Amino acid sequence: MTAGPAHAGRAKFDIGDIVRAHRATLEVQYPLTPEQKRVLTDIGQCRTAALGGHVDVCASCGYEHPSYNSCRNRHCPKCQALAQQTWIEQHQARLLDVGHFHVVFTLPSELRTLARLAPREVFDALFHAVAQVLLELGASQLHARLAATLVLHTWTRALAFHPHVHAIVSAGGLALDGKSFRRANPRYLFNVKAMGKLLRGKVIGALNMAYAAGAFAHVPDFQDPLGFPRLMAKVAKLSWNVYAKAPFGTSKHVVAYLGRYTHRVGIANSRLLDVNDERVVFRTRGDATESLHPVEFLRRLVQHVLPNGFHKIRHIGLYASPRKLDVARALLGMPRWVPQPTLSWHQKLLELTGRDVRLCPRCLAPLLQLPLLPEERAPPLASAA
């Protein structure tokens, strides 16, 4: 496999090329879930003739260029920029104008195998536990209802499986009696060791309930009646990792930072440094790189595919309650939050890149959009799911 020439403004290499060249080998070597197959199909077809599209034609200078449709899969590295911008537009106006803390809650490595086999149950348990930890500590220590946004990530920069939740938490909240806004210490939220202990107990409790309900009946290790209790006893002895970063000063900084996390996927095309039939080299952190065989690269990529319909972004506390959020905003002297109309994708792209795709790049005359003729379209991938 060799990469074709890059278009202006685009990354030199494309994960879609790796999928098209090595997916068949991946499926021979590793069993894939229907969700993983769907994601590979979408990434392999994204912005190709297989998904159809149109031809941009300039009647003034004769410019012509085909534009292919996007797959819009949330796991596709080429389809997240506009989705991220839309999310930011919808949420930046509703954030409380107070400091926010960034807290990271990590699932211990001993539970990663279970998370691979039962992702919905384990990730739900982690989400619910994080929410309970923050809301309970807010109520007991600040006597207030906090506002927070939680985002699940499952990867490291090297694409290893490492489930963790990023929490952006308001430095204060609406007093439990609803009559005042109680501010937290601007430099300190809660003790991280205390949060870790609470997280451990709540995740274990949620997993016990799931096990009792039969959610893990398909897990091979639990065919032994002592398998699950043995695992829970092991993780109960661990110190669970919770990391609190320095707080943000304003809601503007929160939105700019959080926007980088909400729609991030395991890896972007821009991190690919070299791609051929023997290796994929990509940037990890700083100047460090990782080199993998293309099949191993795809194996690591698909392990981060989430179950269908699973929400990886969740709001809790005031951010999940419009009525209480309005009360808190009033107490802070902020206007009532009103959802703003969403910009069209043309307008969003213009804001992001400065380019109006409705105008000819040569002479700036308005472009005509003509449908692609049937013979110009490629057949779908043979292994499409």
Domain extent listing, the chain:
15-75+344-376, 94-266+304-331
| 8 Å CB contact between 67 and 49 | no
Q: Can you give the pLDDT at residue 382?
A: 46
If you count DSSP H runs as helices and E runs as strands, how many of each does the chain have, helices first?
11, 14
- Block means of pLDDT (10 residues each) for the chain, length 385 residues? 45 93 98 96 93 92 91 88 67 83 96 97 98 98 96 95 95 96 91 97 98 97 97 98 79 67 82 97 95 98 96 95 96 84 66 79 92 58 48
Q: Can you give the pLDDT at residue 3?
A: 42
Amino acid letter at 338?
V
Q: Can you give the pLDDT at residue 169?
A: 94
3-state DSSP helix/strand/coil percent for the chain, to nearest 5? 40, 20, 40
Q: Can you give the pLDDT at residue 14?
A: 95
Q: Can you give the pLDDT at residue 315?
A: 95
Q: Cα dist. 238→107, 181, 197 in Å?
A: 11, 36, 9
Q: Can you give the pLDDT at residue 15?
A: 97
pTM of the model as a whole: 0.87
Q: Cα dist. 112→31, 162, 235, 292 in Å?
A: 18, 7, 11, 21
Determine whether 45 is exposed, middle or buried from the number of CB atoms within 10 Å of its CB (0-12, 13-18, 19+). buried
